[in-house]
Structure 1
């Protein structure tokens, strides 16, 4: 009989089991290094077991919506949630698709998170993805840059005071003179936020970023 750990290890991509409150029960180990572990600041999968998923989710809106997803999975075990997102490292672009589904014959609310890489490719290194070197101290001289946790677009300040801020790709942010030394704040752009809200069946509002 196969164990749950063996099944998780067989999944090609990041995979983990959580309970209804977000406690991490098991993590797929076999492909962790090639899919996640190569990104700066990523922990060893063994160290994740017993910790809470929400320790690793930045941004109030993002956390709130993940809680909505877990609540939906618990109340409707037949529901399967999918979302495309980005998981970039300094010199690599990665587009993934996350699936969240209830686990049959387990405690109510137990969910399997699994992701598959849709495409990836190299690019010139971008310093905003060097999370282990990120500026963490509150420093008025360091710009605060909001990044969407899902698509990795950033909220760029306008070049002219009459222009509106806009969500742009990190490459465009740098091309237009964006500072490489920033303090990151995670949130959701309006497009990704609307997708989240539609998935959980709630009316959309402006994300707080």
Structure 2
């Protein structure tokens, strides 16, 4: 993702994705996200891509804020197997009750590639991962992905569990504070 341009996408007043910039497809393609290419996400509801209730709730609050004339900014992790990335996300209102999302890379740090859970179509097991910091919920607490790979022996498995995205308590609190501070 270009640091200067970043990824931009827009939703309408019904939360349907109506626009993605060229960087969207470049980023999806570079990160094995073929299922997220523009032709697969355009004209679909944003909510089809946000699965868990706490994250949906936060995004609903964010959208209410921006539709009331405010802008919202937060940081989130967006890792690849060999890179740890921190992104800044800016969300602003657009005409007719829509919203524009703009994310850009703040930092990218190479790391030893780790197994990234896939679609897990053959696995009944789910790994809960925070959509903001990418920590994995195991043993009653949140762990960095590298630690989870080792503890769960993901590299030794023939089938890696599917992901279930959520939000950890510290990230939930941080995003909630973002909504009340502005």
- Superposed pair shares fold, TM > 0.5: yes
2:101 maps to which residue? 113
Cα distance, 1:138 vs structure 2: 5.9
The structure carrying a bigger helix percent of its residues is: 2
The alignment's TM-score, normalised by the length of structure 2, stands at 0.83
Q: Structure 1: any 5+ residue segments left out of the alignment?
A: 1-10, 158-164, 202-209
TM-score (norm 1): 0.73
**Distance in 2, Cα, partners of 1:169 & 1:154:** 6
Distance 1:48 1:85 in 2: 21
8 Å Cα contact 2:28-2:37 kept in structure 1: no
Contact 2:89 2:104 in 1 (8 A): yes
Q: Tell me the CA shift for residue 188 of structure 1.
A: 0.5
Which digits, 9 at most, give the CA deviation of each residue in 1:149-204, with x for residues without a partner?
110011121xxxxxxx22111112234x2231323221110011112222334xxx
Mapped contact 2:130–2:136 kept (Cα < 8 A): yes
User: Runs of 4 or more off by more than 6 Å in structure 1?
Assistant: none
Which of the residues 127, 145, 148 maps onto 1:170? 145
Q: Classify the secondary structure of the residue corresponding to 1:196.
A: helix
Q: How many residues align?
A: 172
For 1:141-152, list aligned pairs within 5 A.
Answer: 142=125, 144-152=126-134
Check if 1:154 corresponds to 2:136.
yes
Who wins on radius of gyration, i.e. which is larger?
1
Q: How far does residue 145 in structure 1 lie from its aligned partner after superposition?
A: 2.0
Write out per-residue CA displacement over residues 18-55 of structure 1, whole angstroms, 9 at most, x where no aligned residue: 113211111111x2344333112342224422111121
CA-based RMSD: 2.2
- Give the match's secondary structure for 1:127: coil
Partners of 2:83 and 2:113 within 8 A in 1: yes
Q: CA separation in 1, counterparts of 2:121 and 2:25? A: 26
Secondary structure of the residue aligned to 1:98 is strand
Contact 1:13–1:35 under 8 Å retained in 2: no
2:121 paired residue among 117, 120, 136:
136
Match of 1:82 among 73, 76, 83: 73
State how far apart, in whole Å, the 1-side matches of 2:167 and 2:64 are.
20
